[in-house]
Amino acid sequence: MNANHHEVSASTRGQQITLRSPSELADALPFVLGFHPNDSVVLVALHGESGRFGGRIRVGIPRSPGEWDSTADHLAECLVEASARRAAPPDGIVGFLCQDPNPGETAREVHERLRPLAQRLRTACGTLDIPVYEVLCISGGRHFSYCCPDVRCCPPDGTPLSLGGTSALAAAAVYAGIEVRGSLREMEASFRPTGAPGDARQRAALDAAAAKIVPRVVEGAEEHGRTRLREATVALAGRLLGRFAEPPRRIGEDGTRRGRAVIEADDDARVDPGEAAAVIVGLQDRATRDRLAEWMEGAEGAAAVRLWRVLARRCVTPYEEYAAAPLALAGWAAWSTGDEPTARVALNLALRADPEYVFARLLHQACNEGLDPESLRSCLRQGRESRAEAREKTTVPVSRTRTRTRARGVRPGGPRPALPRAGHGAARRGRGTSGVRPAGRAASRPGNPAPHHGGRRGTRSGR
C-alpha cells in the first residue's frame, strides 16, 4: 500500500475485513460511501493500530487548480474536527481522487494531472499532525498510488480495478445487506429533471401554481389565507403519499440503469403536473415543509423519499431553486430511515439549488457528522402530538353543535373550528415568525404566471 505496507480494516456490521493492498482499498471505496464516486475527493479517517475505518468526507474536485489548496485545507480540518467530536481525532487518513479521463486523455494523464492535489492533501493533513497512509487515483477503470514507490505492486500505468463483487469485502458487504447504488452521477440524475417533452407541461403547471399560490405565502400575506393554504397543501401531499404506499408496479432489472429508469417512470406516472406544481410551490412555505418532515419513519418514510424524488424532478427550468425544499425533505427522510448515501446526495443537491437553504445546511452537517437523527424525530413527533391535542380541544361535540344550530338558526354544520397553527417541528426553532420561504424567481411578480429576473427576493434567512 505504501513503503510500510500499512494495513487498514473495514467493518460490515460486525464483521471485520483487513485490507492489505491498494487494490483492496480501491475496491472498498464504493462500500464505504454506498456508491461509486465521480469527480470526487474522498478522505477516510483511520482509528487505532489496525487502521479501522471511521468518518469520511467527500466533495467534488474543483475544476480550477487555484482552488485545490483551500479545498485540501478545508477537507482535512472538517474530517479531523468531525472525528474528534464523534470519538477521537483520526490516527491516520487515506485519500481517493476519482475522476474519469477527458476525451483524448488517458488514465495515467489524469493521475499526473491530479498529483498536485494529492500532494496538497498530504501536506494539509500533515499540518494537523495526521499521517496520510495512502492516496489513490481511480480513473478509467484503473487505480494509481501517489504514496507507494514499489512498481511491483503499484506500476506507473496503474492497476486494473477488480471485478465488482469479487473481493472479500464485497462478499461481506453483500452478506451484511450493504448495497452500492450505482455511481454518484446516476444517483444525482435520479433527482433531476429529465428534459423530456413532459417538462413543458410541468413548466406551465408551475407557472399557474406560482401565480395562484405565491401571493398567499409571501411576507405580508393574510395569515388566515396562509393557514388554509398550508392545510390544503398538506392534504394534497398526503393523498399523493398514499399512491406510493406500494412498490413500483414494474420492477427494474437488478438495479441496472434501464431498470432504474423504469422505476422512476412508474413513480412519475403517479403524480400529474398540476398536483406536483401545487405541492412544490406550497412547500416554499417553511411551516408547511416542517409539517411534511413528519413523514420520516418506516414504510411512510420510504414512500416519502420516492414522492420527494418525483417532486424534485418536476422542478424544471426556471424553477430549479424550488427543488431545495423537496430535496431537503428527501434527504431528511432518507437519513431518518437509515439510507445515508441517498441522504447525502439529496442534501448536497439541495444546497446546490439554494446554498442559503438553512434546513438543508443543518441536516447536511448533522448527517455528515454522524449524529443520531432520533433527537429531531422526537421533536417532530411532539409537534404532531401537540397539533392533535389542539384539534381535540377546538373540536365541538356533535350534540352541542346541533343544539346551537337549532337555537341560533345557523346553517347545519355550525361554524368551522379554528385550525391550529402549523409547523411546530424542530426545524422552526430559533426562526422568525413569518414561516415563509421566498419563492424564487417566480415570486418576484406574484400576479404574473411567468417567472422574471431581478424581482424582490424576500427574506432568505431562517429557512
Residue range 245-275, pLDDT digits in tens: 988 765 444 455 566 778 888 999 999 999 9
Question: Between these two residues, 2 and 358, which has the higher pLDDT value?
Answer: 358
The rounded Cα 179 to chain-centroid distance in angstroms is 17
pLDDT at 144 over 90: yes
pLDDT, position 406: 37
pLDDT at 219 over 80: no
pLDDT, position 175: 67
Residue written as cell 500500500? Answer: 1
pLDDT, position 15: 58
Which long-range contacts does 81-84 make (Cβ < 8 Å, 24+ apart)? 82/55, 82/57, 82/368, 82/369, 82/370, 83/45, 83/47, 83/54, 83/55
Question: Between these two residues, 54 and 97, which has the higher pLDDT value?
Answer: 97
pLDDT at 79 over 80: yes
pLDDT, position 78: 92
pLDDT, position 250: 55
pLDDT, position 155: 92
**CA atoms within 13 A of residue 36's CA, in its CB half-sphere:** 15
User: Treating both helix axes as pointing N-terminal to C-terminal, what angle do 257-268 and 298-313 enclose, rounded to 10 degrees?
Assistant: 90
Q: How confident is the model at residue 327 (pLDDT cuts 50, 70, 90)?
A: very high
Of 114-128, 135-149, 162-176, 249-263, the poorest mean pLDDT is in 249-263
Most confident range (mean pLDDT) of 23-37, 91-105, 242-256 is: 91-105
Q: How confident is the model at residue 281 (pLDDT cuts 50, 70, 90)?
A: very high
pLDDT, position 165: 58
Average pLDDT over residues 91-114: 96
* Cβ atoms 435, 423 nearer than 8 A: yes
> Which sign, positive or negative, has the C-alpha torsion 226, 227, 233, 237?
positive
> What pLDDT, in 10s, does the model give residues 388-440?
888 888 765 544 444 343 333 333 333 333 333 333 333 333 333 334 444 44
Average pLDDT over residues 206-234: 89
Question: Between these two residues, 194 and 287, which has the higher pLDDT value?
Answer: 287
Average pLDDT, the chain: 81
Average pLDDT over residues 198-208: 94
pLDDT, position 32: 84
- Name the helix (H) or strand (E) containing 25: helix 22-33
Most confident range (mean pLDDT) of 123-127, 214-218, 397-401 is: 123-127
pLDDT at 447 over 50: no
| Grid cell listed for 140 | 478509467
- Name the helix (H) or strand (E) containing 142: strand 142-145
* Cβ atoms 286, 437 nearer than 8 A: yes
What strands lie across the sheet with 52-60, from one edge to the other?
Answer: 15-19, 8-12, 52-60, 40-47, 92-98, 132-139, 142-145, 159-160
pLDDT, position 321: 96
Q: What percent of the chain has pLDDT over 90?
A: 54
pLDDT, position 223: 85
- Of the candidates 365, 369, 362, 364, the residue with the CA atom closest to the CA atom of residue 349: 364
User: Treating both helix axes as pointing N-terminal to C-terminal, what angle do 340-353 and 298-313 enclose, rounded to 10 degrees?
Assistant: 30
pLDDT, position 404: 42
Question: Between these two residues, 46 and 442, which has the higher pLDDT value?
Answer: 46
